[in-house]
């Protein structure tokens, strides 16, 4: 008897994928996936329909045109960039290329839910360092968690789901402490929304691409550019490393529609700025109201806020759905995206009920 076909234990041991609350009901506002509420720029929509008629053709194998445009925008060389089917696919590529059974990947927790899954599939071990009580990365503890087995440290700023951002000097000091044989992957999915005074300047840290041999920065078109459904992200780092990663990547990894749409998005900077500013204005309105209700939300720097209510987050999400919007519950709290003003008002109404029930008293910013 040969027995049954099985996948590797690290894969068969993964929890089954449970889809989030459905966004298919048009009467329910979707505040559970950190999407922006606006459609992509008009030029992006035009690019999508233009390229449709050429869908019989393969796109560029590694997206050289988009890499070139991104390099120009960021003051890098094309060789410092790779693009992928969303930045999550680039993180998967990096992990697949860098780690295997016995290696450790250090990251703050709670952070992006994709991290533990992607690490587990490789067979490597996640080392999760608890966030500070205010939802920030604990860089001291993260540095201390690095061992001889550590190959990669993930840093997410602003952090999903707590929405707190690290400062430039925090990241700089952390990079100086990380051994040169450990790769730091800086996930900046929400960089556009970060308005901290000392915002991380990752391009300065990359120093033209070659300043640090062990730093990769991830960005995405999914959030500020409103292109989550198209799937494009990019990674920036030293050309030697990027060249090897490119060789290990899926050829034609970004489809023609997404690639051309991303080019058009880069040329629609004013539109993107307007979308981002609208989100930030709503975020200011919503967080002021939440503080007045008694919630301590810190200074959210993503397009979402975090209510640290522990396991009650599941009850919160169920009530959210009943009141007309989706929210994303985690064991430590609930994450709510800044969406349309009407959706944010619904979310504020639910937050007010909970604040009363929890006996919260107004938080005054200092």
Ligand X SMILES: *Cc1c(COP(=O)(O)O)cnc(C)c1O
In the complex, the residues that contact ligand X under the rule CB under 6 A are: 34, 86-88, 112, 156, 160, 187, 189, 220, 222-223, 228, 233
Contacts of 242 (CB under 8 A, 6+ apart): 79, 80, 81, 82, 235, 236
Least distance (Å) between residue 162 CB and ligand X:
11
Structure token pair of residue 263: 């080019």
Tell me how far, at minimum, the Cβ of 302 lies from ligand X, in Å: 8
**CB 157 to ligand X: min, Å:** 9
Measured from the CB atom, the residue of 92 and 104 that comes closer to ligand X is: 92
**Strands 333-337 and 328-330, bridge-based pairing:** antiparallel
Output 234 or 354, the one with its CB closest to ligand X: 234
For residue 160, the minimal CB distance to ligand X (Å) is 4
User: Shortest approach of ligand X to residue 356 CB, angstroms?
Assistant: 31
Cβ 239 to ligand X shortest distance, Å: 22
Of the candidates 286, 287, 309, the residue with the CA atom closest to the CA atom of residue 298: 287
- C-beta of residue 272 within 8 angstroms of C-beta of residue 265: yes
φ/ψ of 154, rounded to 5, equals -95, 135
> Least distance in Å: CB of 56 to ligand X?
27
Nearer to ligand X, 224 or 355 (CB): 224
Q: Are 63 and 263 in contact (CB under 8 A)?
A: no
Q: Which residue number, 59 or 354, has a Cβ lying nearer to ligand X?
A: 59
Q: What phi, psi does 29 have (nearest 5°)?
A: -75, 135
Q: Which is nearer to ligand X, 86 or 237 (CB)?
A: 86
The CB-of-296 to ligand X minimum distance in angstroms stands at 22
Residue whose CB is less far from ligand X, 78 or 187: 187
Q: In angstroms, what is the minimal distance from the CB of 228 to ligand X?
A: 6
Element (H, E) at 104: strand 104-109
Evaluated on CA atoms 14, 36, 163, 157, the torsion sign reads: positive
Between 160 and 344, name the residue whose CB sits nearer to ligand X: 160
Beta strand 325-326 with 304-307 is unpaired
Nearest CB to ligand X, comparing residues 90 and 99:
90
- H/E stretch holding 233: strand 233-236
Minimum Å distance from CB 322 to ligand X? 26
Which two tokens mark 159?
């952090």
Give residue number: closest CB to ligand X.
86
CA 44, 46, 47, 51: dihedral to nearest 10 degrees? 150
Phi, psi (rounded to 5 degrees) for 306: -130, 125
Contact 289, 341 (CB under 8 A): no
CA 147, CA 126: separation in Å to the nearest integer? 12
Q: Which is nearer to ligand X, 195 or 291 (CB)?
A: 195
- Nearer to ligand X (CB atom), residue 161 or residue 308: 161
| 39 within 8 A of 278, measured Cβ to Cβ | no
Cα–Cα distance, 209 to 213 (Å, whole number): 9
Burial class (CB in 10 A: 0-12, 13-18, 19+), 102: exposed
């Amino acid at each position: 008897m040969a027995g049954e076909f099985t996948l590797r234990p690290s894969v068969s041991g993964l929890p089954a994928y449970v889809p989030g609350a459905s966004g298919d009901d048009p009467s329910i506002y979707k505040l559970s996936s950190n999407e922006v509420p606006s459609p992509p720029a008009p030029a992006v929509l035009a690019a999508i329909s233009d390229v449709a008629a050429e869908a019989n053709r393969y796109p560029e194998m590694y997206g050289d045109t988009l890499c070139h445009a991104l390099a120009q925008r960021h003051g890098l060389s094309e060789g410092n960039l790779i693009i992928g089917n969303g930045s999550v696919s680039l993180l998967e590529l990096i992990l697949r290329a860098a780690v295997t059974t016995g290696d450790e990947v250090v990251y703050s927790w709670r952070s992006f839910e994709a991290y533990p899954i992607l690490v587990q599939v490789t067979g490597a071990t996640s080392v999760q360092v608890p966030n500070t009580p205010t939802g920030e990365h604990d860089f001291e503890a993260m540095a201390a968690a690095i061992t001889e087995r550590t190959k990669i440290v993930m840093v997410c700023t602003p952090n999903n789901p707590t929405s707190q951002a690290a400062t430039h000097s925090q990241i700089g000091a952390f990079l100086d402490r990380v051994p040169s044989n450990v790769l730091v992957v800086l996930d900046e999915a929400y960089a556009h929304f970060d308005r901290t005074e000392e915002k991380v300047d990752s391009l300065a840290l990359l120093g033209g691409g070659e300043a640090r041999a062990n730093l990769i920065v991830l960005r995405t078109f999914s959030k500020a550019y409103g292109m989550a459904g198209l799937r494009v992200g990019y990674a920036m780092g030293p050309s030697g490393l990027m060249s090897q990663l490119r060789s290990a990547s899926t050829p034609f990894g970004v489809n023609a529609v997404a690639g051309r749409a991303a080019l058009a998005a880069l040329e629609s900077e004013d539109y993107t700025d307007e979308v981002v500013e609208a989100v930030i204005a709503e975020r200011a309105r919503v967080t002021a109201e939440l503080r007045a209700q008694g919630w301590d939300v810190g200074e959210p720097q993503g397009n979402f806020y975090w209510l640290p209510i522990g396991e009650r987050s599941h009850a919160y999400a169920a009530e959210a759905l009943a009141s007309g919007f989706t929210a994303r519950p985690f064991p430590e709290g609930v994450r709510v995206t800044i969406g349309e003003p009407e959706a944010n008002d619904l979310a504020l109404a639910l937050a007010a009920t909970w604040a009363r029930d929890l006996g919260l008293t107004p938080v005054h910013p200092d």
